[in-house]
Every structure is written in structure tokens, then in C-alpha cells.
Amino acid sequence: MDRSIHEITLPLKVIIGSGILDKIPDYLSKMKFTNQYRAGIITGPTTYNVAGRIVEESLKNNGYNVEVWKARDARMETANQIVEETKTHSIKIFLGVGGGKSIDLAKYAAYKNNGYMISVPTAASHDGIASPFASLKGTDKPTSTPTTTPYAIIADIDVISKAPPQLIRAGVGDLLGKLTAVKDWQLAHRLKGEYYGEYAAQLALLSAKHVIRYHELIASGNPDGIRIVVEALISSGVAMCIAGSSRPASGSEHLFSHALDLLAPGKALHGEQVALGTIMMLYLYGDPKWKKIKRIMKKIGLPTTAEEIGIPIETIVKALTIAHKIRPNRYTILGEKGLTEEAAWRLVRETGII
């Protein structure tokens, strides 16, 4: 590949507002889509009732042929099944309506079918709503799969505000991870000669700083606070689009989270794990901000200890020792040999995780 060529694909439109789900046909029309395009809604059993049905009815009322897939998981097997079924139905517009699973499945299906992906989040729990990557289970490693950049993002604040508060907090946790992800990217640039993009890095950092600044408003549950989280998550996703990789948004804190996914699947939300990892990775960097981040996490209700996150401390220590193996080509503060068990125990004690 010619390293002098850096191709950037960004979302065409970002629409954030209240009560906008039933206006999706209008937005599609403004993007030059017509009801000649077959539409596929990829959602979940719960999120279909929350938002998917409204989107389906509004599209059908405007003459669209619509098929609906209610996926219960985001495994590669499920993703490939949806790819084949959407191909059979000649789907061209792929609407991911729901949380991370639905949006990731829609991105993957659109990518495989050379279609247009519309991201319609029902929760602000992670930055996948705008990124060109999907987290699909059942692959060799629990890391991101390259897909397609969402053609548009349509975020209804009314819907997202009604999501469980834990999901909003997880979104903040995912954003806090950018503090260490960018440090890891800079480290890899200095020690390994890896490409580093200052603009993408600063954009990712801005998304983290934004939620730190407004954490009290976000914690209150005010719709203005929810909007801040949504905008910051989109900003982080765009940073990945600009970088051409997940580097500005995913570093050692994400490797730690992925390790927990292997050792204790389903025990905590992605953003909660990332935030806990961020505290420890900042400590490894010798950055005193880890104490401030931990205080903010406590204030907004994110878990800051093994007990609060519901994962045994022994599992957290084990995750710290194997995190560097999750993605060997991604250099971070964990280095190439990772942490020893002794160092991991010292880390959880020093940061008060235990």
C-alpha cells in the first residue's frame, strides 16, 4: 500500500434532535434516496419496540419496501446470515436501529453488500455509532472488524434519554478511554515508527475533555447532557474515520476490556470496563490525572472498584497480564511482554481497584 495516500471517508450527514425518528424518510429524500431503494432495518427484539417499529412504519408509509431483522447477538455467524439474507432481498439502505449490536451488524452487512449504512442509535453507550469498525463476537480475537463508515447518523435525543442511565454512563466511560488511547498512539509513533495523525488524536481527546467538563450535567440526566455525550461519541467515531484506524479511540484500556470479555463475558458494559482500565493505564503512564478521572467516575456512578463492577479481582489481575496478547500489533504502555502478575497486583492496589 502506498503510505503517501491517506483516504478519509466521513459521514455525509449527522442529524441530532428530538422526535425525529418518523422524519427519517424526509432525511433520506434529502440525501437523494428514493423509495426505489429497498431498506433493511437491523435491530433487536427490545430496540424494535423502542424505535425500530416507528422507523419501519414511517418508511412503509412513504412507499419503501422494508425488511426487518431482529438480532439477539452480534456474533460473526449472525452477521454473515444477515449479509446473505439482505443480499437475497436486494437491500441497499441498511438502517442499524438500536445499541451497539444492531449498529455493528448493519455496518457489516452494508459493507459486505456495498450498501449505504444509516446509524440510528437508541443509546449513547459507545462510539461505534459513527465509526467504520464493528465489534463482532466469534472471531479469533474480540477486537474491531473494518466495515463501512455510516453514511448518516440520525440520533433522536428523546429516545436516547429514555435508555437506562447505566448505558449513558458507559458512553462516558468509553470516551474517557481516549485519554490513554492517544497516549498509546503517541508512544507507538515514537518507539515503533507507527503513523500518527495529530488532528485525529486531538479530535478524540476533545471528545473526552468535553464529557469531563460537563460530567455533572450529564449525570443529572438532562437531555442537554445526553446530547453532549452523543456529540462526543460521534466526534470520537469521526476521529477514527480520519485516522483510518481505531488508534485514536482504542489503546491499552480497550485491550484490558477485551481481555475481560474473554475471561468474564457479559459481566459489565464495555464502557464501564474501558473506564476502569483508563484509571490504571493513566497510573502506568505516571499521569496524576488518574485520580481526577476516578473522582469523576464516582460522581457520575461509573464503577471504580472490582466489587462495584462485579468482576473478581483475580480476574481483573489476570486480564491485566494477558491484555497485551489481545492485539500484538497494537503497541501500548503494556509493551510487548505485558505486566507480570506481581506488577498487576501492585497496580490494582495503588489505584484502589481492590
Burial of 206 from C-beta contacts in 10 A (0-12 / 13-18 / 19+): middle
Query: Residue 335 and residue 157: Cα distance in Å, rounded?
Result: 40
* 5 burial type by CB count under 10 A (0-12 exposed, 13-18 middle, 19+ buried): exposed
**Is 125 labelled a binding residue?**
yes
**In the predicted model, is pLDDT for residue 141 greater than 70?**
no
- Is 131 annotated to bind a ligand? Reply is yes
Instruction: Find out whether 278 and 249 touch, Cβ atoms under 8 Å.
Output: no
User: According to the annotation, is 261 in a ligand binding site?
Assistant: no
pTM for this entry? 0.95
Q: Is 134 annotated as a binding residue?
A: no
Categorise residue 193: left if φ over 0, alpha if ψ from -120 to 50, beta otherwise: left
Lowest average pLDDT, out of 2-16, 170-184, 186-200, 272-286, goes to 2-16
Mean pLDDT across the stretch 27-34? 96
pLDDT of residue 1: 43
For the chain, the average pLDDT equals 96
Asked whether residue 4 is marked as a ligand-binding residue, the answer is: no
Read off the pLDDT of each residue in 97-103 and give the average, rounded to a whole number: 96
Question: What's the average model confidence in pLDDT over 226-252?
Answer: 97
Please report the domains of the chain, with CATH numbers, ordered by start residue: 13-161 (3.40.50.1970), 165-351 (1.20.1090.10)
The model's confidence at residue 3, banded by pLDDT at 50, 70 and 90, is: low
pLDDT at residue number 37: 96
Q: Is 147 annotated as a binding residue?
A: no
The answer to whether 122 is a known ligand-binding residue is yes
Question: Phi, psi at residue 98, to the nearest 5°?
Answer: 150, -150
On the question of pLDDT at 27 being above 90, the answer is yes
Residue 104 is assigned to a ligand binding site:
yes
CB environment 289-313: b (16+ within 10 A), e (fewer): ebeebbebbeebebbbbbebbebee
Summarised one tens digit per residue, pLDDT across range 287-336 is 999 999 999 999 999 999 999 999 999 999 999 999 999 999 999 999 99
Specify the pLDDT at position 142: 63
Instruction: Flag whether 324 is marked binding.
Output: no
Whole-number Å distance between alpha carbons of 54 and 274 = 33
pLDDT at position 5, please? 82
Task: Give the model's confidence band at 143: pLDDT under 50 very low, under 70 low, under 90 confident, else very high.
Answer: low
Could you tell me the three cell numbers for 173? 466511560
| pLDDT the model gives residue 278 | 98
At residue 206, does pLDDT exceed 70?
yes
Q: Over the stretch 149-184, which tens digit does the pLDDT of each residue have? A: 999 999 999 999 999 999 999 999 999 999 999 999
Phi, psi for residue 193 in degrees, rounded to 5: 70, 20
- 174 labeled binding residue: yes
pLDDT of residue 201: 98
- Of 135-144, 159-168, 189-198, 330-339, the least confident: 135-144
% of the chain at pLDDT higher than 90: 95
Three cell numbers, residue 313? 479481582
Residue 101 in marked binding region: yes
